[in-house]
Amino acid sequence: MSVLRTDPNVVVGVGDAVHSVALRESILAGKATEYRVFESADAVLEAISETNEIGCVLTDRSLPETTGADLCRKVHSHDELLPVVVYTEADDEANGQATVRDALNAGVSGYYTHDDSPEVVTQAIDEVLETYDQQRDAREERSAFETLLENGQTNIYVKDEQARYLRTAAGPDSNNQGKLGQTDLDIYSESDPEMAQQTYEDDLAVIKSGEPIREREEWYGDGRTAHVVRTTKVPWTDGEQTKGLVGITTDITELKRKEVELEILREQFEKFSSNVRHELKNPLQVAIGHLQLARETGDQQMFETTREALERIEEIMTDLESIAKDETKRPEHGPNALGEVASSVWDILYTRDATLENTLADCVRTYTPEPTLRPVFENLFKNAVTHGGDDVVVRVGALTDGFYVEDTGTGIPEDKRSAVLDAGYTTKPTGSGTGLSIVADVCQQQGWDLTITDSDEGGARFEFTNCPVAAAPTAVDRVDITDNETALSLSETGDIGTLEAGGSASYDDDSDRWTVTADGANIWRHWNDFYFVSRQVEEPVSIRARVSSLEEIDPFSKAGIMIRDERDEAATYGYVGQTPGFGTELLWRTRHGDNGISQQLREGSSAPWFRVDVLEEYVTCFVSQDGIEWTPVDQRPIEYTSPVQVGLVVCSVVSGTPCTATFDDVSIHRLESTDEARAAE
| CA 4 – CA 579 distance, rounded (Å) | 48
Mean pLDDT for the chain overall:
84
Query: 3-class secondary structure for 82-98?
Result: CCEEEEECCCCHHHHHH
Residues 335 and 208 occupy one common structural domain: no
- Find all residues with CB under 8 Å of 266, minimum gap 6, and list them: none
- Comparison of pLDDT for 173 and 444, the residue scoring more: 444
Overall number of domains in the chain? 4
Report the Cα 507 to chain-centroid distance in Å: 28
- The phi-psi region of residue 658 (left if phi > 0; otherwise alpha if psi is between -120 and 50; otherwise beta) is beta
Residue range 102-108: mean pLDDT, rounded: 91
pLDDT tens digit sequence for 644-671 = 999 999 999 999 999 999 999 999 988 8
Low-confidence winner among 45-59, 331-345, 391-405 (lowest mean pLDDT):
331-345
DSSP β-bridge partners for residue 610: 545, 623
What distances in angstroms separate CA 567 from CA 389, 563, 617, one per listed residue?
54, 10, 19
Residues 560 and 610 occupy one common structural domain: yes
What distances in angstroms separate CA 76 from CA 56, 73, 80, 98, 107, one per listed residue?
12, 5, 4, 21, 8
- Comparison of pLDDT for 562 and 326, the residue scoring more: 562
Inform me whether the pLDDT recorded for 263 exceeds 50.
yes
Residue finishing a domain among 470, 500, 522: 470
pLDDT tens digit sequence for 5-38 = 788 999 999 999 999 899 999 999 999 999 999 9
Highest mean pLDDT (candidates 100-104, 220-224, 425-429): 100-104
CATH number at residue 170: 3.30.450.20
Query: Is 475 within a domain?
Result: no
Query: Is 479 within a domain?
Result: no
DSSP β-bridge partners for residue 231: 216, 249
pLDDT score of 26: 94
Query: Is the Cβ–Cβ distance between 330 and 342 less than 8 Å?
Result: no
Residues 330 and 228 occupy one common structural domain: no
Report the Cα 518 to chain-centroid distance in Å: 15
Residues 463 and 350 occupy one common structural domain: yes
Inform me whether the pLDDT recorded for 610 exceeds 90.
yes
Residues 348 and 409 occupy one common structural domain: yes
Inform me whether the pLDDT recorded for 450 exceeds 80.
yes
Query: Is 258 within a domain?
Result: no
Residue finishing a domain among 204, 221, 251: 251
- Find all residues with CB under 8 Å of 343, minimum gap 6, and list them: 356, 358
Using DSSP's 3-state secondary structure scheme, residue 256 falls into: helix
Question: Is residue 269 within a helix (H) or strand (E), and if so which, with residue range?
Answer: helix 253-297
pLDDT score of 259: 80
The residue type at 680? A
Inform me whether the pLDDT recorded for 478 exceeds 70.
no
pLDDT score of 601: 84
Residues 240 and 277 occupy one common structural domain: no
Phi then psi for 373, rounded to 5 degrees? -75, -40
Query: Is 478 within a domain?
Result: no
Low-confidence winner among 28-32, 212-216, 270-274, 355-359 (lowest mean pLDDT):
270-274
Query: Is the Cβ–Cβ distance between 578 and 560 less than 8 Å?
Result: yes
Query: Is 218 within a domain?
Result: yes
DSSP states of 133-157 as a string? HHHHHHHHHHHHHHHHHHH-SSEEE
| CA 8 – CA 220 distance, rounded (Å) | 49
DSSP states of 272-331 as a string? HHHHHHHHHHHHHHHHHHHHHHHHHH--HHHHHHHHHHHHHHHHHHHHHHHHHHT-----
| CA 421 – CA 588 distance, rounded (Å) | 27
| CA 449 – CA 510 distance, rounded (Å) | 46
pTM over 0.85: no
Query: Is 269 within a domain?
Result: yes
- Please give the DSSP secondary-structure letter assigned to residue 368: S
Inform me whether the pLDDT recorded for 48 exceeds 80.
yes
DSSP states of 543-612 as a string? EEEEEEEE--SSTT-EEEEEEES-SSTT--EEEEEEETTTEEEEEEE-STTPPBEEEE---SS--SEEEE
Residues 281 and 397 occupy one common structural domain: yes
| CA 338 – CA 397 distance, rounded (Å) | 9
Is the CA virtual torsion 341, 344, 345, 351 positive or negative? positive
Query: Is the Cβ–Cβ distance between 559 and 649 less than 8 Å?
Result: yes
Residues 498 and 461 occupy one common structural domain: no
Of 500, 581, 575, which Cα lies nearest the Cα of 532?
Answer: 575
Residue range 377-395: mean pLDDT, rounded: 89
Residues 418 and 279 occupy one common structural domain: yes
Q: Which domain holds residue 207?
A: 152-251
Residues 618 and 602 occupy one common structural domain: yes
- Comparison of pLDDT for 213 and 473, the residue scoring more: 213
Of 568, 400, 433, 434, which Cα lies nearest the Cα of 494?
Answer: 568
Residue range 213-225: mean pLDDT, rounded: 75
Low-confidence winner among 76-80, 90-94, 654-658 (lowest mean pLDDT):
90-94
Inform me whether the pLDDT recorded for 318 exceeds 80.
no
- Comparison of pLDDT for 599 and 647, the residue scoring more: 647
Residues 578 and 657 occupy one common structural domain: yes
CATH number at residue 548: 2.60.120.200
What distances in angstroms separate CA 108 from CA 66, 87, 210, 387, 488, one per listed residue?
15, 11, 41, 99, 76
Of 531, 534, 532, 523, which Cα lies nearest the Cα of 556?
Answer: 523
Report the Cα 75 to chain-centroid distance in Å: 51
Report the Cα 458 to chain-centroid distance in Å: 46
- Comparison of pLDDT for 640 and 606, the residue scoring more: 640
pLDDT score of 333: 46
pLDDT score of 130: 93
Inform me whether the pLDDT recorded for 138 exceeds 80.
yes
Low-confidence winner among 139-143, 342-346, 446-450, 672-676 (lowest mean pLDDT):
672-676
Inform me whether the pLDDT recorded for 382 exceeds 60.
yes
pLDDT score of 228: 85
pLDDT tens digit sequence for 403-432 = 999 999 989 999 888 888 875 444 444 343
- Comparison of pLDDT for 150 and 6, the residue scoring more: 6
pLDDT tens digit sequence for 227-257 = 788 899 999 998 778 899 999 888 888 888 7
338-347 and 370-388 helices cross at what angle (nearest 10)? 50
String of b and e for 601-620 (b: at least 16 CB within 10 Å)?
bbbeebbbbbbbbbbeebbb
Residues 234 and 363 occupy one common structural domain: no
pLDDT score of 7: 87
Inform me whether the pLDDT recorded for 329 exceeds 50.
no
CATH number at residue 438: 3.30.565.10
| CA 521 – CA 572 distance, rounded (Å) | 18
Residue finishing a domain among 251, 286, 313: 251
